[in-house]
Amino acid sequence: MKVTKAQAQANRAHVIETASQLFREHGFDGVGVADLMAAAGFTHGGFYKHFGSKADLMAESTACGIAQTKALSEGVDASTFVRHYLSRGHRDHRATGCTMAALGGDAARQPESVRVAFADGVEKLVETLSQQSGTSTAADAAQARAKVLDVLTHAVGALVMSRACPDDSPLADEILAVSRDAILESFRPRQATRATSRRRSAG
């Protein structure tokens, strides 16, 4: 039976979504095209009807994964986003978690198309998070962007380090907690932060 254009597009999107999860779970080199297509419910031969190469799929699945993280950041404040991002639940569900943390190291060794997709996705996420700060001037916007980049790299690095530890390691939880608290503290107004510091010193 002939597949309609709409169904073909839906099938393609399903393959990308499946690949996005499998790559996050196993790495770009940890899953082959045949296994990927089987997981999506299609034959190996159908792959090249949709993609020119595995690298093409890696690039599109990267964009898909980062877009999911971007969607989670929309409509929530920075503190809520950070609490979710640096939670044990997020850490333990790599296949549906952050693509930046799961595949950042892998991306550096992949073709330029994959790295471009990675950079584009990160840029869109940074733009979204920066816009939510409600800045009005160019200087404020630049400062907000710098803050987002600082927080994002801190959070991604913490998640990577936590995942590198054994699942039941106390250090894995400690890394998340210390980083989460430090980031949340950085959101507090400076005067409030200084007052808190003085109270702790006095205690």
Q: Which domain holds residue 164?
A: 5-190
Those residues whose C-beta lies under 8 Å from the C-beta of residue 11, and which sit 6 or more positions away, are: 3, 42, 46, 50
Domain tally for the chain?
1
Instruction: Provide the pLDDT for residue 196.
Output: 53
The H or E element spanning position 3 is: none
pLDDT at 81 over 60: yes
Within-domain flag for 195: no
- Specify if 196 maps to a domain: no
Domain assignment of residue 198, yes or no: no
Average pLDDT over residues 40-69: 93
CATH number of the domain bearing residue 147: 1.10.357.10
pLDDT in tens, 127-141: 888 887 666 677 788
pLDDT at 34: 95
Per-residue pLDDT tens digits for 30-49: 999 999 999 999 999 889 98
Among 151, 129, 153, 150, residue whose Cα is nearest residue 141: 129
Residue 203: inside a domain: no
pLDDT band at 115 (very low <50, low <70, confident <90, very high): very high
